[in-house]
Structure 1
Amino acid sequence: MSKPGVKPPQATLDARFFSSNRSLPLGALPVLSQPPVGRWLLLSSTLVFAVIVVGGVTRLTESGLSITEWRPITGIVPPLTHAQWEEEFDKYKLTPEFKLLNHNITLAEFKSIFYMEWGHRVLGRVIGLAFVLPFTYFALRHKLSPSLPRQLAGMTLLIGAQGALGWYMVKSGLEDSLMDKPGAVPRVSQYRLAAHLGAALALYAGMFTAGISVLTDWRFAQTGKWSGLVDGSKWEQIMQNPIVRRFKTRSILLTGLVFVTALSGAFVAGLDAGLLYNEFPLMGGRLAPPTDELLSVDYASSPDGSGLWRNVFENPTTVQFNHRVLAVTTYLSTAALYATTRSTALRAALPPAALRSAVAAFAMANVQVILGISTLLYLVPIPLAAAHQAGSVALLTTVVHLLLALRRPSMAARLWRQANVAKSAKP
């Protein structure tokens, strides 16, 4: 029985909490996603993490142009007979990559690069099925919190768009016009590569964020725990603290910086810029190459030499220099954010999970710097380069997790918590 004068939490609800649960009566609690939903989203994010790393290896092994057609359905089955392999090989022989670089490649060597690209594409299809089918099930069974269906529908569209964007990227390396450019190297457009990677990182971050949010909301609703605090009832007081708010703003900016730095790495990979200036911290014995090399007129957008902005995206020297600057800035920013957590005032104000996440972010930043420098010094060996790409996703994970440690419980979780507290207070 409720306490006199205290309105049950259900009675305070209104229709805006039921946009995805219209079959429920108005007085009921909104649906709160349970742990299986969160675990499914984290598994989906893990698959996206894997496809990003596999995609990086595909680029490093120069396997991405081995499949010359996009067949979303029938392409899942690789060649099975010798005649089918010969047919695929003949298609590859018509590409600029074969004519300019791989004209001596054997059928056995072709199979090796074909399977690398095929595996990348199949993993993308697996992600689609592993996401769409459970999403459909959870949605039809009304297992999703009110805000989730729209988010997950957007992720579904992004998964489909990624397939089309991936082919759009590969197609840029198959164009016959490459044969007419003196000194041209058959490779995919670095712009399209960066767009493909950026969409994958956004998809990963979205799935990871949604998965962790589901699990933390459920824990808060059932136990009252929040961000490492056994008693999370003071979460609102903590989040309104000016010191915590400033820390969260800096964390958001750092997350954006990590994302941009990862994207700049796509331009490095797309232009093979990592094969230049294999030393650190200097470039040719100085902190920065000469200005006329960084802003070369060879990359100007106009015949009169104006429009030097293209150097930022198309000049391998400039691209590597920019990536270095962004990487060092990211490292120093992560170190500075971690250093602020050592102050007595901030340590007292921040929840334990945020403090742990700041430590994890700084630790991962150190690992990533070591991987990046090693990749450069050893002339981009595939294992190190693949680990460096994986490290960029891992660093993004740590800073996103830092933001999640400063996330407010959802409205549904708060209402459930109120209901559970009221229920436990009954005599």
Structure 2
Amino acid sequence: MAQSLHSPALFSFRGLHPASAKPVITTNIRQQLHATLQARFSAARFPGISGLRGGIWSQRRPLSSLTGRRQLFDPRFFSSNASQTTAVPAELPVLSPPTVGIWLLASSALVFAVIVVGGVTRLTESGLSITEWKPVTGVLPPLSQAQWEEEFSKYKQTPEFKLMNHSMNLEEFKQIFYMEWGHRVLGRIIGLVFVLPLGYFALRKRLTATMPKNLFGMALLLGAQGALGWYMVKSGLEDSLMETPGAVPRVSQYRLAAHLGAAFVLYAGMFYTGIATLMDWRYAKTGAWAGLKGSDMQWKAILETPLVRRFARYSKALTALVFLTALSGAFVAGLDAGLLYNEFPLMGGRLAPPADELFAPEYAKATDKSDIWWRNIFENPTTVQFDHRCLAITTYACTTLMFLATRRPAFRATLPPLTRKMATSAFAMANLQVLLGISTLLYLVPVPLAALHQAGSVALLTTLVHLVVSLRRPGAAARVWRQAMRTRQATPASKA
């Protein structure tokens, strides 16, 4: 078919009035017509990216969509299920819109809140007040006096009531019950806030290619958190505690650390993905990356610099160290180790307790004492507090070194502005976290200070995760989009 793209005969098929006689268009003419339009349109407007995934225009599109210049960031680019007369795959890779990033950040904020509420629940010894796990019916608290009496009678059978709270009345029980109930309900709310929009975005194909697998993995971890939380609570309800001399009714520190660690992983995953989504969108739209607004490819030269690559590895290792320090704090909370050695920086007038106290033989359970090392590390309150101190001091020192490195001329000239900003924020948060930790220790773990200290650990992790994201290269979809935007802006529109 040798007709020109602007030939009147070519467009006479589309210009016919419905009431006029309809011409007969054979299959071969349709195919030749589509091929001509496709070749001219793609060569004129997207010369640099025609080879991607078999060519962006390799899929057939309606003729009406090929004759006009489409508006920048047309919503139909976002999904392959756009409302068209025929099912047509996306012209560009799916790029998640800002609403996805905002949803993920809102979900991470709720996880932040549930971590803090969980800490308060532990500090007020409210976690064992609900003795059953009812994922559906447990949403409602007792609504009548008879129901309250029933719940209270169940609590009276627990080791905690028999050993510690045997003088508690119903009104006092309601206070700890509502604290644990609020923690569980907030967990259910997070599930709804995360899972329902996830299903919507997945069905509407608003998620970048790599996101569905990661987000569905987070959804599974979120569901497992409920079961893990109940598994943790069960450890404090076991009747065997009544038979152990000197036993204190509390949940297993191992299960508490697992529950808290999973919450930290969930939070970091949501926050990282949300920030990365917003950064990818901004890069695709404007070319801005990590605070830089210069050349679109400036990030590539920066990330390939040996100095920046070393800094990126260091920041990831520091993030892992903060996570490990927070986990050690879970062991401190689980064993009430913060009530020992309420002084700083010394412990009993010396930098470290005696070796026979740090590795006491009575904590070993094996006949040959082969487990004395690891059992003292995880079960001896003195050793647990000492380890937490060492990790906290190491974390603070490493954060300070990272901040000082960003003040050096070589790093200031190379690192992106957002990276330097997050390094400063991490240093400021580390100082605040140290002050909160020392104050919590000196004042014998008051609930407000201890809760702020736990919130501070999440805040410090947040700044470091944000720092790691700032050194992330734009996603593949964002890079393709940016190339298309540059090509579109550089190429004048072809006349219809």
The TM-score bracket by the shorter chain reads over 0.9
1:331 is matched with which residue? 396
Alpha-carbon distance between aligned partners in 2 of 1:28 and 1:6, rounded to the nearest angstrom: 11
Question: 2:51 aligns to what SS in structure 1?
Answer: helix
Identical counterparts, % of pairs: 67
8 Å CA contact retained: 1:10, 1:27: no
1:11 aligns with 2:51: yes
For residue 273 of structure 1, what is the amino acid of its counterpart?
A
Q: Which moved more, 1:37-46 or 1:23-32?
A: 23-32
Question: 1:230 aligns to what SS in structure 2?
Answer: coil
1:390 is matched with which residue? 455
1:289 is matched with which residue? 353
Alpha-carbon distance between aligned partners in 2 of 1:21 and 1:36, rounded to the nearest angstrom: 14
1:46 aligns with 2:86: no
8 Å CA contact retained: 2:187, 2:226: yes
Q: Deviations 1:135-192 (Å, cap 9, x if unpaired)? A: 1111111111111111110000000000000000000000000000000000000000
| Structure number, greater radius of gyration | 2
Alpha-carbon distance between aligned partners in 2 of 1:310 and 1:175, rounded to the nearest angstrom: 21
Question: 1:354 aligns to what SS in structure 2?
Answer: helix
Alpha-carbon distance between aligned partners in 2 of 1:415 and 1:13, rounded to the nearest angstrom: 11
For residue 250 of structure 1, what is the amino acid of its counterpart?
Y
Q: Which ranges in structure 1 are unaligned for 5 or more consecutive residues? A: none
Over 3 Å counting, the alpha-carbon distance change for 1:401 and 1:361 in structure 2 is: same
8 Å CA contact retained: 1:61, 1:113: yes
1:165 is matched with which residue? 228
8 Å CA contact retained: 2:42, 2:50: no
8 Å CA contact retained: 1:31, 1:145: yes
8 Å CA contact retained: 2:194, 2:219: yes
Question: What is the deviation of 1:131?
Answer: 0.3
Alpha-carbon distance between aligned partners in 1 of 2:123 and 2:162, rounded to the nearest angstrom: 19
8 Å CA contact retained: 2:315, 2:468: yes
Q: Which residue, out of 63, 66, 70, partners 2:129?
A: 66
8 Å CA contact retained: 1:92, 1:98: yes
The higher-RCO structure (CA 8 Å, 6+ apart) is 1
1:417 is matched with which residue? 482
Q: How does 1:18-417 map to 2 (within 5 A)?
A: 28-231=91-294, 232-308=296-372, 309-417=374-482
TM-score relative to the length of structure 2: 0.83
For residue 275 of structure 1, what is the amino acid of its counterpart?
L
8 Å CA contact retained: 1:235, 1:408: yes
Matched residue pairs, number? 425
Question: What is the deviation of 1:25?
Answer: 5.6
Over 3 Å counting, the alpha-carbon distance change for 1:9 and 1:316 in structure 2 is: same
Question: What is the deviation of 1:426?
Answer: 1.7
For residue 143 of structure 1, what is the amino acid of its counterpart?
R
8 Å CA contact retained: 2:396, 2:431: yes
Question: 1:41 aligns to what SS in structure 2?
Answer: helix
8 Å CA contact retained: 2:332, 2:385: yes
Q: Deviations 1:237-293 (Å, cap 9, x if unpaired)? A: 100000000000100100000000000000000000000000000000000000000
For residue 334 of structure 1, what is the amino acid of its counterpart?
T
8 Å CA contact retained: 1:213, 1:404: yes
Measured on the aligned residues, the alpha-carbon RMSD in Å equals: 1.9
Alpha-carbon distance between aligned partners in 2 of 1:194 and 1:372, rounded to the nearest angstrom: 18
Alpha-carbon distance between aligned partners in 2 of 1:21 and 1:321, rounded to the nearest angstrom: 54
Q: Which ranges in structure 2 are unaligned for 5 or more consecutive residues? A: 1-40, 56-77, 82-86
Alpha-carbon distance between aligned partners in 2 of 1:6 and 1:202, rounded to the nearest angstrom: 41
